[in-house]
Amino acid sequence: MKVAVFGDSFADERINKREAGYKSWVELLREKYYPDLTCYGEAGSSMYFSYDLFLENHEKYDKIIFIMTTPGRLTIPKYIPFQRSNINCYMYHINSIQTAQEHLVNNAFLMTEPGTQATKAAIEYYKFLYDPVFDRRLHLLMKEHILEIRRDTVMVDTLGQGLSAISYYEFDSSGSRPAEMWKYRDRRMCHFSPRNNEILADKMFEWCNGTPVPSKLDLNDFEVPSKEELERLLVHDKNKIND
């Protein structure tokens, strides 16, 4: 069976690969269940980025897994030459004013002049133009459209008690976002510990086989990693900007 995965960092099997040293749920799903799995996930990407890829590619696949990112993200158009080299860093995805500011502070040397200007334009966009209601409505319209085209899509949300709640659960059993999270650089594969990537891969397989995706994931199905493991995967970063 040919399977495609679309989404953001919760579905990006490349990001953090070297630092984390273990496999993401995407790789595990491929290894255990679906050898012919293609992953289009890209860290930091917007809903439209994945939606557009879905529209272009979904017909090639028997099964679609779509990880819905958070609203309010931007992807700078492709016609703007953004980065100086084709490094594994997607700075043309901007998910908040803080991300844009961090790119300008920490990664300016990687950006072209138009890339820098576009990043500055994104900051102005978030300050003066961003309309969260508009963005949320379009987000939902894109979700509905995907499900209209492919009713059998395994649609998994990151917000609410979605994948982000598992990510937070690893710090805090309430599943809510820890206040100090912004200080850390998350090196976990897809924001999960090795064990939770394994659990999620199995759940994805079940969902691909007809078990409905729950609107709220049961956090008790997942495990809290040891403090030592978390400390290895979350690196305190003094250059991060508070969001």
Partner 1 sequence: MKIAIFGDSFAAPLHDSKTDVGLKSWVDYLSEKYDITNYAVEGSSLYYSVSQFMTFNYPYDKIIFVTTSPGRLYLSGNTILEKHRHTHLSSLSYAEFIYNENKNKTDPESIEITKTAQAVIQYFTYIQRTAYDKFIHDLQIEHIKKIRPDIIIIPAFRIHHHVKSLSPCLYDITEMENTHWGIPLNYGSPDDSRRCHMSKENNLILAGIAERWLQGEPVNININDFVIPADDKSFYNIK
Q: Which of 118, 189, 201, 234 binds partner 1 (CB under 8 A)?
A: 118
* Other residues' Cβ atoms within 10 Å of the Cβ of residue 6: 28
Q: Which helix (H) or strand (E) holds 64?
A: strand 63-68
Query: In terms of residues, how long is the chain?
Result: 243
Are the beta carbons of 215 and 160 closer than 8 angstroms? yes
Q: Which of 3, 111, 122, 208 binds partner 1 (CB under 8 A)?
A: 122
Q: Which of 33, 52, 161, 184 binds partner 1 (CB under 8 A)?
A: 52
Instruction: Name the burial class of residue 142, with classes exposed (0-12), middle (13-18) and buried (19+) by CB atoms within 10 angstroms of its CB.
Output: buried
Q: Which of 120, 136, 185, 236 binds partner 1 (CB under 8 A)?
A: 120
Among 47-55, 64-72, 179-187, 204-212, which window interacts with partner 1 (CB under 8 A)? Answer: 47-55
Name the CA dihedral angle for 227, 231, 233, 236, rounded to a multiple of 10 degrees.
150
Q: Which residue, 77 or 212, has its beta carbon nearer to partner 1?
A: 77
Are the beta carbons of 66 and 156 closer than 8 angstroms? yes
Does residue 77 touch partner 1 according to CB under 8 A? yes
Q: Which of 74, 156, 200, 204 binds partner 1 (CB under 8 A)?
A: 74
Q: Which helix (H) or strand (E) holds 149?
A: helix 132-149
Q: Which two tokens stand for residue 20?
A: 């984390």
Does residue 109 touch partner 1 according to CB under 8 A? no
Residues 136 to 155 in contact with partner 1, rule: CB under 8 A: 138, 141-142, 145
Strand partners, 75: 93
What 3-state class would DSSP assign to 157? strand
Does residue 26 touch partner 1 according to CB under 8 A? no
Q: Which residue, 114 or 194, has its beta carbon nearer to partner 1?
A: 114
CB of 109 to partner 1, least distance (A): 20
Interface residues toward partner 1, by CB under 8 A: 48, 51-52, 74-77, 80, 114, 117-118, 120-122, 124-125, 127-129, 131, 133-134, 138, 141-142, 145
